[in-house]
Amino acid sequence: MITPRPLYLFSISSHPDAISINSLDITFFKPNINFSKYDALIITSKQASKALMQYKKEEYLHLSALCVSVQSAKSYEALGGKVLDIGGGYGDNLEGKIKSYPKEKKWLYLRAKIVASDFVQICKDEGYKIDESIVYESDCSQAINEVQVKDDAILIFTSPSSVNCYLKNHTFEEGQSIIVIGKTTAKALPIGVNYVLSDKTSIESCITIAKEQFLK
């Protein structure tokens, strides 16, 4: 009897069809923010929406949000907020979205301490009005540091941080299959590593690829 290949999901979210390894420990900050100064928010992760829960809803819910993905949009909608627009799942895609609005529009980017994309700086250099506020940071979790992964495992990564944390104590083996949720995550992989890029920036899409390509 052939033993199925183990499927690992490295994310802060879990999935019932995978061995879910929490890749990051999140620390939230509550900087002093005058939300009344802005016309819209920029949200690139669910953690940004979670950070907003530290503030009174009446302070920020009048602001619509430009969200990087469907999932980040859902996280803001869950708070009662309205979504202005949704990007294609990558921070770099938001550059064109921002530039489709007048330069006078005042944005507030709720961001992590370390970000993978420079789309905000590019827009700011061209005269777009964007303030940045660091509302959370992430560190590698003990779980990802200590996980033991078999040489024939299927590995799903959902962020550049999850890749970087994994590689601190592990290496990719020839018999392993790697699936990444998006192009930004793919850029974090070492040069020469083969991977499959998810059609959609969702965990469900990554799980589907694993089942259809590697678990038949």
Q: 50 CB contacts (<8 Å, ≥6 apart)?
A: 26, 28, 75, 136
Q: What is the pLDDT of residues 15-47, one digit of tens each?
A: 999 999 999 999 999 999 999 999 999 999 999
Q: What is the pLDDT of residues 163-202, one digit of tens each?
A: 999 999 999 999 999 999 988 899 999 999 999 999 888 8
Q: Nearest CA to 18 among 164, 157, 151? A: 157
Question: Ramachandran region of residue 42, left (φ > 0), alpha (ψ -120 to 50) or beta?
Answer: beta
**pLDDT value of position 184:** 85
Going from the N-terminus, what domains does the chain have, and what CATH number goes with each? 7-23+141-214 (3.40.50.10090), 27-139 (3.40.50.10090)
Mean pLDDT (the chain) is 94
Q: 90 CB contacts (<8 Å, ≥6 apart)?
A: 68, 117, 182, 183, 184, 201
**pLDDT value of position 93:** 80
Average pLDDT in the 139-166 region? 95
